[in-house]
Copies of this chain bind each other. A is one copy, B any other.
């Protein structure tokens, strides 16, 4: 029913092999022949059958993107960067979410769905200790990761330790000494970012001879709501912090909300700093360590494409670090010495 390569070949008076070569831009095709084939093909409105092409060549021309969340700002923005590169490269982007989300649907493990289906995998911020991650990596296919650091797999990320240190140091420089932290979740399957940012926080505190105590640490699960609850927990301590480092902007947003609910003013009564550079952070006057999220996706996708055309032993296994920048806004201010 549909036009096939044979129709084009006949109409152009050549063999299917020549059509195949011509249309794919391979060398060793007479320019005149190539032109004629191109003309005929477009006149017949011919489009190649991906299935047939894939079966014959063994290449799928598709990349799977695996992410724990789709709609959260960070993930959606990374995805956007990935998509822009893959589209330009003519690659299909297969989107797969892991984790049950709010959907109620039971989610299948990703690894089995990858085999023989894609040429490479791009993983966004899964926990290095997630068994599903292991399964995917064990597939042994070209892989590129964003914001997750496991040995021997190419990845792109910010220096999370440094980011946390910069944020914390900023608070210290402002004269704060009782500094709280809003983290992700109690251990379990920590993201690389979670792990590193906690370390950065502790390092900065320690270097300044400041004390860190579990009393001043709360978990916000990387959500606005969670951040709000975490801040509320910190506020209801007998001796609340005067400044708080939140591991993500969204948790910081929640923290700001908690402050307002308690009649406190960010930057006046309590300082709050986040990490991300979320679209809304400027709007909410949140001081934050900005990371180039779109670029994270872009760079990881490009690295994966390079990998697909490179010998395995030439692949760069060192994490690619992209720079961050502290943006100071009114949510942080010098400690008021009453």
User: Using a CB–CB distance below 8 Å, which chain A residues touch chain B?
Assistant: 2, 47-52, 54-55, 60, 62, 65, 69-73, 76-77, 79-81, 83-85, 87-88, 90, 92-97, 101-103, 105-108, 112, 115-117, 224, 253-254, 257, 279-280, 283, 294, 298
Cα A73 to Cα B253 with chains together (Å):
16
User: Given A50-B117, A76-B71, A253-B280, A83–B55 Cβ distance below 8 Å?
Assistant: no
Enumerate 25 A-B pairs (CB-CB under 8 Å) in ascending A order. A50-B60, A51-B51, A51-B52, A51-B54, A51-B55, A52-B55, A70-B79, A70-B83, A71-B77, A71-B80, A71-B294, A73-B76, A80-B101, A83-B95, A83-B97, A84-B103, A84-B105, A85-B103, A87-B107, A87-B108, A88-B103, A93-B96, A103-B294, A103-B298, A224-B280
Given the complex, which residues of B lie within 8 Å of A54, measured CB to CB?
A: 50-51, 54
**Selected contact of A280 from candidates B55, B87, B90, B280, CB within 8 Å:** B280
| Residues in B whose Cβ lies below 8 Å from that of A97 | 80, 83-84, 87
CA distance A79 to B96 in the complex (A): 11
Chain B residue nearest to A94 (CB atoms) is B92
Copies in the complex: 2
Taken together as a complex, chains A and B put the C-alpha atoms of A93 and B309 apart, in Å, by: 25
> For A81, what are the chain B residues with a Cβ–Cβ distance below 8 Å?
103
**Known: A87-B107, A94-B92, A280-B280. Contact between A2 and B116, CB under 8 A?**
yes
Which of B52, B62, B71, B102 lies in contact with A73, CB distance below 8 A? Answer: B71
* Identity of the chain B residue whose Cβ is nearest the Cβ of A108 in the assembled complex: B87
B residues less than 8 Å from A52 (CB atoms): 51, 55
Closest residue of B by beta carbon distance from A254: B283
B residues within 8 A CB of A115? Answer: 47
In the bound complex, what is the Cα–Cα distance between A62 and B76 (angstroms)?
A: 21
Closest-by-CB residue of B relative to A60 is B51
Distance in angstroms between the alpha carbons of A294 and B70 in the assembled complex = 11
Which of B50, B55, B60, B107 interacts with A116 by CB under 8 Å? B50
Determine whether the beta carbon of A224 is less than 8 Å from that of B112: no
